[in-house]
Amino acid sequence: MCYTTHMEIADRYWLAGLLEGEGCFQWSRCGEKTWPRIALAMGDKDVVIRAALLLGGRGKVRTFHSYGRNPVHRFVVSGKRAVEVMTELLSIMGERRQSKIKELLGG
């Protein structure tokens, strides 16, 4: 997936608003290793695809189906790119998300 290292201001605010409501800032773990990650999951595939393009990274949008429910589309970015995005969005996120991002960034 291609991305630029700097988002336009409108994209930055759009992504921040989306992640406030639908995103998750957390640790990703594999054995002893941990690293920050951003996950987004929702029913609107076009919105997840747009966010994935802004978030970048190596992942792809995955679709999950549950019996009797609408599909959920999910994208995850982790490691260095997640840290870059968290740093770029930090100042425009709400207090709760800022606190979590600071925890993940070690500050």
Structural domains for the chain = 9-105 (3.10.28.10)
- Spatial separation of the C-alpha atoms in residues 44 and 28, rounded to whole Å: 24
Amino acid symbol at 61: V
Q: What is the pLDDT of residue 6?
A: 64
Q: What is the pLDDT of residue 5?
A: 52
Sign of CA dihedral 72, 16, 54, 99: negative
pLDDT at 20 over 60: yes
- Spatial separation of the C-alpha atoms in residues 1 and 3, rounded to whole Å: 7
Tens digits of residue pLDDT in 51-98: 999 998 778 999 999 877 899 999 999 999 999 999 999 999 999 999
The full 3-state SS of the chain, as one line of letters, equals CCCCCCCCHHHHHHHHHHHHHHEEEEEEEECCEEEEEEEEEECCHHHHHHHHHHHCCCCCCEEECCCCCCCEEEEEEECHHHHHHHHHHHHHCCHHHHHHHHHHHCC
